[in-house]
């Protein structure tokens, strides 16, 4: 895996549309203007999905095919051929002009553009030689305006100017999570995979709302959630709901949310809740309080 693939060290211990007025000549090819900086009206994005490179024009596709015609590609799949071509430094001009489409559950959601042109490498590294249904890309950045139709063959979706991008597969993510020495690894693996699947499939999880950003952050950065769910399954409990509420700790301009996990015993129907607080004020969410039991306040 490349240096940006999701490593075990990724788990440390621990709205209005952005009015980008400048004219970026190609919002998806790695040349955003240097003054495209987040503002107080920015919509931050922390999204989980998949990146798909596409040709914005017939001429670029023809140029790509001419390169392929000069290379040895016998026996390679189309995906392997694409990977081979754009991985070569002399072909970076192709990579710079591709449309980098970010899909969520198969839906075209964003066009990606690196804030730093050097981060074009992260987009190139997201192209695997072999695709899998378990491939995951995580993009962290700022949502800009809807791209003009001529940018990517009529595809009019918002541009996300990203500062960080992770590409990995679900097995790597699960294997990188610290596990209890006393726990059953099979139960842990099943619990982790189910949680990832459920969060990714949440309705309208495009990673732009405070709730979705908090959840997406937790499943890729906070292993205690997986440990709690594994323990719940071992205690014959089901994960019955995940809710996100504004926290009473939000003050001084900080936006903090409480993510509440509810577990119901399969025999007694007794509900037990745990919560974690996440600060989602800025582009990079972070933990405010660790996972702990949640008690609802009684109303007098």
Considering 171, 187, 203, which residue would you say is the last residue of a domain?
Answer: 171
In a domain, 92, yes or no: yes
Q: Is residue 298 part of a domain?
A: no
What pLDDT score was predicted for residue 297? 59
Other C-beta atoms closer than 10 Å to the C-beta of 197 total 10
Beta strands in 18-127 (DSSP E): 43-54, 99-104, 107-114
Strand, coil or helix: what is 91? helix
User: What residues make up the domain containing 144?
Assistant: 8-171
132 lies in the same domain as 15: yes
Same domain, 166 and 227: no
Percent of the chain with pLDDT over 70: 85
Mean pLDDT calculated for residue range 241-258: 90
Q: Which of 113, 143, 171 is the last residue of a domain?
A: 171
Range of weakest confidence among 135-144, 200-209, 218-227: 200-209
Same domain, 112 and 240: no
The rounded distance, in Å, linking the Cα atoms of 279 and 285 is: 5
Give the whole-angstrom CA distance, residue 80 versus residue 20. 36
Nearest Cα residue to 2 out of 94, 87, 98: 87
Kindly state whether residue 2 falls inside one of the protein's structural domains: no
CA distance 2 to 167: 9
Same-domain status, 146 and 13: yes
Which one, of 2, 101, 94, lies nearest residue 51 by Cα? Answer: 101
| 92 shares its domain with 25 | yes
- Based on the domain organization, do 155 and 16 belong to the same domain? yes
pLDDT tops 50 at residue 101: yes
pLDDT of residue 249: 83
Where does the pLDDT of residue 244 fall: very low under 50, low under 70, confident under 90, or very high at 90 and above? very high
Percentage of the chain beyond pLDDT 90 is: 64
> Domain tally for the chain?
2
Maximum Cα interatomic distance, the chain, rounded to a whole number of Å: 78
pLDDT (mean) for 33-44: 57
pLDDT at 245: 93
Region of residue 189 (phi > 0: left; psi between -120 and 50: alpha; otherwise: beta): alpha
- At a CB cut-off of 8 Å and minimum separation 6, what does 166 contact? 4, 5, 6, 10, 137, 138, 220
Task: Kindly state the average pLDDT of the residues 239-258.
Answer: 90
Spell out the residues 6+ positions from residue 215 whose beta carbon is closer than 8 angstroms to its own: 199, 202, 205, 242, 244, 259
If you average pLDDT over residues 12-19, what whole number do you get?
Answer: 27
Stretch 165-190: mean pLDDT:
86
Mean of the per-residue pLDDT values for the chain? 84
How far apart, in Å, are the Cα atoms of 217 and each of 45, 214, 264, 270? 11, 5, 24, 29
Q: Which of 150, 171, 192 lies at the terminal end of a domain, its last residue? A: 171
Q: State whether 92 and 129 are in the same domain.
A: yes
Residue 4 has pLDDT above 70, yes or no: no
């Amino acid at each position: 895996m490349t240096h940006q693939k999701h490593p075990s060290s990724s788990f440390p211990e621990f709205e209005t549309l952005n009015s980008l007025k400048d004219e970026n000549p190609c919002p998806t090819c790695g040349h955003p203007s240097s003054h495209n900086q987040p503002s107080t009206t920015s919509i931050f994005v922390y999204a989980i999905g998949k990146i798909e490179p596409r040709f914005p024009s017939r001429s670029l596709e023809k140029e790509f095919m001419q390169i392929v015609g000069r290379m040895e590609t016998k026996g390679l799949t189309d995906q392997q051929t694409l990977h081979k071509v754009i991985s070569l430094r002399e072909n970076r001009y192709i990579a710079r002009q591709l449309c980098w489409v970010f899909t969520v559950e198969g839906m075209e959601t964003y066009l990606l553009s690196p804030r730093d042109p050097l981060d074009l490498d992260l987009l190139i590294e997201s192209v695997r030689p072999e695709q899998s249904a378990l491939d995951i890309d995580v993009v962290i950045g700022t949502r800009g305006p809807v791209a003009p139709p001529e940018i990517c063959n009529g595809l009019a979706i918002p541009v996300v100017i990203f500062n960080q991008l992770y590409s990995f597969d679900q097995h790597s993510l699960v294997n990188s999570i610290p596990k209890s020495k006393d726990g059953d690894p099979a139960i842990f693996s099943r619990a982790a995979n189910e949680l990832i699947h459920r969060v990714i499939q949440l309705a309208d999880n495009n990673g732009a709302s405070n709730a979705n950003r908090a959840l997406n952050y937790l499943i890729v950065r906070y292993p205690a959630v997986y440990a709690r769910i594994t323990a719940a399954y071992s205690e014959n409990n089901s994960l019955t709901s995940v809710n996100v509420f504004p926290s009473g700790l939000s003050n001084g301009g900080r936006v903090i949310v409480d993510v509440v996990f509810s577990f119901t015993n399969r025999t007694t129907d007794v509900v037990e809740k745990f919560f974690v607080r996440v600060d989602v004020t800025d582009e990079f969410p972070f933990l405010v309080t660790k996972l702990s039991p949640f008690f609802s306040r009684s109303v007098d």
